[in-house]
Amino acid sequence: RATLGVLGGGQLGRMFVHAAQRLGYFTAVLEPDAQSPAGLVSHHHIQTNYDDPAGLAQLAHLCQAITTEFENVPAQALQTLAQTRPVAPSAAVVGIAQNRIEEKAHFAACAAVSGVTCAPYAVVETTAQLQAVQAGRADLLPGILKTARMGYDGKGQVRVKTTDELAAAWAELGSVACVLEKMLPLTAECSVLVARGWDGQVVSFAPQRNVHVNGILAVTHAYEGNMPAALADRARDAAVSIAQHIGYVGVLCVEFFVVEDGTEHGGLVVNEMAPRPHNSGHYTLDACDASQFDLQVHTMAGLPLPQPRQHSPAIMLNLLGDVWFDTSGHLQEPDWHSVLSLPGTHLHLYGKVEARPGRKMGHLTITGPDVASVQTVAYRVAGLLSLPGLDAI
């Protein structure tokens, strides 16, 4: 039997392993943590650092093809693996997605085809650039200063209102390469999942509407009518052209902002892309006839990509570690019994050993016969577990 490999042992790797196993594949996970969500369920667990040459050689030896499950995997490791095995997505595109400066340049390069641009921004890599922005780019304030590399879940970002705050924020972030982005008046956020095969075949999911709380995804609304149809079509087409333009292979998630209409952006602005399945696509496991992880397996194995069909409206609620703590700060298992007694609730726990505030421990997908009943159950679940984000945009 063939073996598929994944660099990284988090929950995305775990769900990839589950999907691969369903098709009869063996899996190999390279991950230093002995207790990782993916390592615990994989046939092979190579327990070493992502850049260990011996570990990478072992992974390549075992596997027919290799993918990655987290964004900040050293692109060099993918490069090494690619010398002997098919690797998807490639080191080159992962490298672009890992650097906001290159990522925005890519979005700009395909703006003519994708029909979307990113928020107005400036690169701040040097003191001279900082001073130039302070002197001449008042249009970017208030804005968000984001580190070019290694940020996720809103980490590595500081909101700034004045040029003084900008200078202080750049120092606070270690004076590393950053982008200053204009703060946009968001009316909503959405993301689109695209899968593209080695042969260029492309399939995609309809856009899902996302609600973030404190920079972390809290709720995903996945059903018809979750956003205006014309915007949804534009976002989906834009994501496909963004994937095609870089010859992407694998599953790609493109995040968009929806801004107040009548602006120069025509309502839709591209934010960033993740070169892998995405938290906002977890509902596809329960609400679609092929999940984002199934498509990841198909792309890697060179199998035909089914155009996924969503069979139920769905709302996904993220379960952060906070849910495991009661009001006086004591650890306690959430009341799954009450949650699971509600119709259409699907609980996914990632097998993480320790709950910590802000840590992604699992998610709940609620499916049902119609949007109204899904919403009703979602509100009841959110009430039971004190989950945020169901009322906000």
Binding residues for ATP: 100, 146, 151-157, 181-184, 189, 212, 271-272
Rounded to whole angstroms, how far apart are CA atoms 243 and 248?
5
Rounded to whole angstroms, how far apart are CA atoms 240 and 256?
13
Residue 69 interaction partner, one of Mg ion, ligand ATP, none, beta carbon < 5-8 Å per kind: none
Residue 191 CB, nearest distance to Mg ion (Å)?
A: 8
Residue 154 binding ligand ATP, by CB under 6 A: yes
Q: Map the footprint of Mg ion across residues 254-293, applying CB under 5 A.
A: 255, 272
Residue 372 CB, nearest distance to ligand ATP (Å)?
A: 27
Q: Can you name the residues that pair with 28 across neighbouring β-strands?
A: 5, 44
Rounded to whole angstroms, how far apart are CA atoms 278 and 288?
15
Q: What is the DSSP letter of 38?
A: T
Rounded to whole angstroms, how far apart are CA atoms 274 and 93?
10
Smaller CB distance to ligand ATP: residue 90 or 99?
A: 99
- Pattern of binders to Mg ion over 236-255, x per CB under 5 A? -------------------x
For ligand ATP, the binding residue among 186, 301, 371, 384 (CB under 6 A) is: 186
Among the residue ranges 7-15, 79-87, 153-161, 382-390, the one whose residues contact ligand ATP (CB under 6 A): 153-161
Residue 184 interaction partner, one of Mg ion, ligand ATP, none, beta carbon < 5-8 Å per kind: ligand ATP
Smaller CB distance to ligand ATP: residue 24 or 185?
A: 185
Rounded to whole angstroms, how far apart are CA atoms 208 and 219?
10
Smaller CB distance to ligand ATP: residue 81 or 192?
A: 192
Residue 153 interaction partner, one of Mg ion, ligand ATP, none, beta carbon < 5-8 Å per kind: ligand ATP
Interior/surface letters 177-190, b for 16+ CB within 10 angstroms, e for the rest? bbbbbbebeeebbb
CB burial class (10 A; 0-12, 13-18, 19+) of residue 163?
middle
Residue 215 binding ligand ATP, by CB under 6 A: yes
AA identity, residue 214: N
Q: What is the DSSP letter of 306?
A: P
Rounded to whole angstroms, how far apart are CA atoms 246 and 261?
29
Smaller CB distance to ligand ATP: residue 7 or 184?
A: 184
Beta-strand (E) ranges in 280-352? 314-320, 345-349
3-state secondary structure of 311: coil
Residue 69 binding ligand ATP, by CB under 6 A: no
Rounded to whole angstroms, how far apart are CA atoms 36 and 141?
41
Residue 338 CB, nearest distance to ligand ATP (Å)?
A: 30
Q: Map the footprint of Mg ion across residues 151-210, applying CB under 5 A.
A: none
Which residue in this structure is represented by tokens 């977890």?
282
Smaller CB distance to Mg ion: residue 5 or 275?
A: 275
Rounded to whole angstroms, how far apart are CA atoms 236 and 234?
5
Query: Which residues lie closer than 8 Å to 215 by C-beta, 6 or more apart?
Result: 153, 154, 155, 157
Residue 189 interaction partner, one of ligand ATP, Mg ion, none, beta carbon < 5-8 Å per kind: ligand ATP
Q: Where are the alpha helices (DSSP H) in the chain?
A: 11-22, 53-62, 75-82, 91-97, 100-109, 111-114, 127-136, 163-172, 229-245, 284-287, 292-301, 336-340, 371-385
Residue 184 binding ligand ATP, by CB under 6 A: yes
Residue 271 binding ligand ATP, by CB under 6 A: yes
Residue 321 binding ligand ATP, by CB under 6 A: no
For ligand ATP, the binding residue among 17, 96, 116, 144 (CB under 6 A) is: 144
Rounded to whole angstroms, how far apart are CA atoms 42 and 20?
10
Rounded to whole angstroms, how far apart are CA atoms 31 and 349?
19
Q: Binders of ligand ATP: how many residues, by CB under 6 A?
A: 18
3-state secondary structure of 190: strand
For ligand ATP, the binding residue among 31, 69, 103, 272 (CB under 6 A) is: 272
Residue 154 interaction partner, one of Mg ion, ligand ATP, none, beta carbon < 5-8 Å per kind: ligand ATP
Residue 62 CB, nearest distance to Mg ion (Å)?
A: 30
Among the residue ranges 42-50, 103-111, 152-160, 315-323, the one whose residues contact ligand ATP (CB under 6 A): 152-160
- Which residues bind to Mg ion, rule: CB under 5 A? 255, 272
- Which residues bind to ligand ATP, rule: CB under 6 A? 119, 144, 146, 151-155, 181, 183-184, 186, 189, 212, 215, 255, 271-272
